[in-house]
Amino acid sequence: MARPRERLTGGQIGLTAEEVFKFFQIDLITVSPITYTWLALTISVEVRMAIAEQVLQALSRDLVVDITTTGRKSGQPRTLEIWFHRIDGRYYITGWPGVRGWYANLLEEPRFTIHFTHSANVATDAIARPVTDEAERRNVIQAVFDMEGGASRGDFESWVATSPVVEFTPVS
């Protein structure tokens, strides 16, 4: 049950119940505990649904996102801007061939946060799954090459062999 200073959606939107009630001009002093609980739960559900809709729209429109991973050595949040790809109804992040810190972080801790900043200002948690099967890697990288002009991206075989590739699933 939400209390006035608790986060309504686990920190997803960064608003306390008190801030949401103020926004909706609800006087906390005159609200009974039962009404308060009902309002907090109702508003929380409505806010979560609105965020989920924004996330779905951003997933269908945006190409670039910020991701925040947990540093595998430091344990500190690490944020970077990166492209993501929609391929056959799934979402992937890839990178140029070679070792990448974000990929190593996701191998250690697959939960991360995606921040959409182009079509919406919203964030959601996600879980990464490394793509290690060679056939699946070939399909994903081929689709990325087709979308982005493969010749300018370098050698296809080196991408298949050494590029970081993860599929991610939003979990909010």
Q: What is the pLDDT of residues 121-164, one digit of tens each?
A: 778 888 999 999 999 999 999 998 888 776 566 788 988 999 99
Strand order from edge to edge, sheet including 85-87: 77-83, 64-70, 111-116, 122-130, 165-170, 90-94, 85-87
Distance CA 60, CA 84 (A): 11
Query: 64-77: string of b/e by CB count within 10 Å (b at 16+)?
Result: ebebbbbeeeeeee
- Answer whether 169's CB lies under 8 Å from 127's CB: yes
Dihedrals φ, ψ of 50, to 5°?
-65, -40
Q: The pTM is what? A: 0.69
The residue assigned the tokens 């799954």 is 129
pLDDT, one tens digit for every residue, the chain (172 residues)? 344 433 333 344 445 555 555 555 555 555 566 655 655 555 555 556 666 777 777 777 778 888 999 999 999 999 999 988 889 988 899 988 889 999 999 999 999 999 888 877 778 888 999 999 999 999 999 998 888 776 566 788 988 999 999 999 888 6
Provide the pLDDT for residue 5. Answer: 39
Provide the pLDDT for residue 2. Answer: 41
Two structure tokens written together for 32: 């009974």
In a 10 Å sphere around its CB, with 0-12 CB exposed, 13-18 middle and 19+ buried, how is residue 141 labelled?
buried
Provide the pLDDT for residue 71. Answer: 94
Two structure tokens written together for 115: 């921040």
DSSP secondary structure letters along 75-129: --EEEEEEE-EEETTEEEEE-SSS--HHHHHHHH--EEEEEE-SS--EEEEEEEE
Provide the pLDDT for residue 121. Answer: 78
